[in-house]
Structure 1
């Protein structure tokens, strides 16, 4: 769809079974703090799923037309609820090896789409 964009982002969890279990519990249905869900939706995120394979996380995020990652980052930085959530998440997360210094979730580049195939 032309009016939305899909973003695929990568991040790792620390290699610790208890940390992984906590992360999954924090993201279970109904467990997300309402302020965090509001922040995500208000920024123009229309759908978000996180998948895990081992310690690797893959976030698939659909956004509305006009979604501005820089504006979302600025709003998050000014929101104490989001900052508390990010601090909690940072206790079990680590950047993927190819992340730039200070980069958390790394956007993956799409290299294939079935729509572009015969």
Structure 2
């Protein structure tokens, strides 16, 4: 994993490590919504909700758009392309088949192998 990807992945994990942001993101996975619905559902103050949404947007997990009829309304959505990429990466990263058995480098690794 190169440094840029490591930095990106760390930023996403850091963003999702906050319980409120994780709750917000889980709600957005259920579909697009506005901040008034999120505020009501999650019981967060409007300014705190906006702060968390900006962080989720800055790491690419959330997108926003203005209402075409009344631009004062903003709708938030989970970024489908980012979710697909994360789903694929996590499926590979957490694949138990990647775990290999290796000889230990310390004294225990110098012991003779046991016969079954």
TM-score with structure 2 setting the length: 0.29
Higher fraction of strand: 1
- Larger radius of gyration, structure 1 or 2? 2
Question: Per chain length, whose mean CA-contact separation is higher, i.e. which structure has more relative contact order (CA < 8 Å, sep 6+)?
Answer: 1
